[in-house]
Structures are given as C-alpha cells and as structure tokens.
Amino acid sequence: MKYVLIVAAVIVGVVLTMIVLTIFTHIFDNHERAGQFDIYTNPKVPDSSVHSALYYKRHRLTEWLNSYSVDPNNADRILFSSDDVFHGSEGLCGTFLYDGQSRKLTPLLRWPYGGGIWSPDSRFILLNRATVRELLTGEEVDLMDSVSRQDGSRVELSILQWSPDSQRLAGVIRISPDGRDLDLDLVEIRLAPLSVKYIATISHSSLVWTPKEIRWNGSELQVAAPSTTERETIVKPPQDLGWTTNPPSAPVKPALYEHFCSAVEGKSN
C-alpha cells in the first residue's frame, strides 16, 4: 500500500507540473526564431484560438502577436503589431518598434494589424500600405499625396517594393479610366521630393503586378517581364492615364479598421 501511495503521489506531481508548465510557459508551443527574437505559437486544439507570443531574450513583449518584421540590418530590432488587451497596463495594443539593445519601445500606430516593409538601409518603414516613416526623425510621408484623379479625388495605391538605394518605391495604381475596365498602372515613387513617374500598365487582365515582373536598373524602375496575351503590358499616353501627379483635393477617408487601440506611450523594457 505504501508503494501505491508513493506512485500515486508521483503521478499527481507530474500531472500538476505539466499543467503549470502548460499555463505559465511556452514549453509545448511551436517555436520560431527571428533575429534575436522568439515567437511561440500554441498548438491548435478544439474550442481554442491560436495565438503567438513574442519574446526578446526571455523578456515578453506581447502574448498576442499579429505580425512582425525584423530589421534586415539589425537582428535586435523588430516592427510588430499586437492586440493584447488581456494584461491591463502590461498589455500592448497597436503597432510598435522595439529596439532590444536600448530596450526602447516606440508606438507607431493605434491599430493592432499594421504591417510594414523595411527599406534596404533600415532608415524607413512603410506603414499602412502607403505611409513611409523615417525612423530617425519620426517624420511621415503619405504617398497618397503624390497622385490624384483628374477630379481631385484620391486613387487606390499599393506598394510592391523598395528600390535598392531606399530612395524610391515601386507602386501600383488601380484605376478605371473609362469606368469599365480596370487598369493596373506601375509607377515609380520618389521620396524626396515626393513625385511619381508612370512606367507601364497591365490592361484588361485578371493578373497583377508582382516583384517578379519588375526590376531596378540602378535607381530606375523597369518592366522585367514581356507582354503576353494573358498579361498584356502597354504604355499609355499621359491623357489616357486617368490620374495626375497633383496632390488630391479630397480629404482622407477614415480607415475602416476593425478597431483602434487606446493611446499608448513608448517605454523602455
């Protein structure tokens, strides 16, 4: 009987230990390494949601990670978005820049689903699809201010990639000049001074511009893929573009995000 009780106590102790480890650590989670950061994702089980936690050298940044991008030139710096509203003042909700060397956390957006694309030199980050932030000064440039429709309204602009010198970006303007067929106009956007240069158009096609169809020759954007019957590439005359390089006169429409976070302040961790 004595040995039975000992064995039972050992089993109970092991079970309790496993429960504690499951609740308070990430020992059973899927692990991913990104630079000097660790991402732990809990396995999918019935009646539970999958979420990820972000750590820097065992220091927790958030338990509810939505997206992240490590600085290509600094493995200790990361851009990430978090929707952690479950840990009170310790939780992070929004899009942030974290520097592990200085332990400085900088809030960038009050939106927990903001992504970002680093410039090759890590001087800039593309936020919110068309907003460029210079990290040293904190200044932001809205690329949408570089183009407008002929009536002054705003166009739909998306960004493909940075140029190797970090001074330009490849973008796509989606527009229907005749009100029927959709054109995808490839453009080169220069940051300083802010300006737009038209390159070419994919017309009357369900296919889109991707990084595979473009290339940079020095600082000049060029089309890399030939025109085909499935993906017709043309160069339109200026009068047929349907947009101009004048700033839009229409105000910015409020973004239809799922929700905004309450204001947060940067802090050192």
pLDDT at 165 over 70: yes
Structure tokens at 140: 């932001």
Q: Among 30-39, 53-62, 259-268, which stretch is predicted with the lowest mean pLDDT?
A: 259-268
pLDDT for the residue numbered 129 = 76
pLDDT for the residue numbered 127 = 87
Reported confidence tier of residue 266, pLDDT bands at 50, 70, 90 = very low
Q: Which residues contact 73 (CB under 8 A, 6 or more apart)?
A: 121, 122
pLDDT at 16 over 50: no
pLDDT for the residue numbered 5 = 54
pLDDT for the residue numbered 22 = 44
What percentage of the chain carries pLDDT values higher than 70? 78
What average pLDDT does this structure show over 43-69? Answer: 81
Scanning the structure block, which residue is given the tokens 């183009």? 147
- Check if the beta carbon of residue 123 is closer than 8 Å to that of residue 166: yes
Type and span of the H or E element at 4: helix 2-24
pLDDT for the residue numbered 45 = 56
pLDDT for the residue numbered 30 = 86
DSSP state of 18: H
pLDDT at 105 over 90: yes
Domain ranges of the chain: 2-140+256-268, 148-244
Does residue 262 or residue 71 have the better pLDDT?
A: 71
- Check if the beta carbon of residue 35 is closer than 8 Å to that of residue 78: yes
- The string of pLDDT tens digits covering residues 77-100 is 999 998 876 554 567 888 999 999
- The string of pLDDT tens digits covering residues 185-229 is 999 999 999 999 999 999 877 889 999 999 999 889 999 988 888
Average predicted confidence (pLDDT) for the chain: 82
pLDDT for the residue numbered 263 = 58
- Indicate the pairing of strand 93-99 with strand 104-109: antiparallel
Reported confidence tier of residue 256, pLDDT bands at 50, 70, 90 = low
pLDDT for the residue numbered 143 = 93
Q: Among 75-84, 92-101, 151-160, 254-263, which stretch is predicted with the lowest mean pLDDT?
A: 254-263
What average pLDDT does this structure show over 99-114? Answer: 87
What average pLDDT does this structure show over 147-152? Answer: 90
pLDDT for the residue numbered 17 = 43
Q: What does the alpha-carbon distance between residue 85 and residue 93 come to, in Å, rounded to a whole number?
A: 6
Q: Among 42-46, 85-89, 126-130, 174-178, which stretch is predicted with the lowest mean pLDDT?
A: 85-89
Residue type, 98: Y
Q: Which one, of 104, 105, 109, 79, lies nearest residue 94 by Cα?
A: 109
How many residues can be counted in the chain? Answer: 269
Structure tokens at 173: 């303007």
What average pLDDT does this structure show over 231-239? Answer: 91
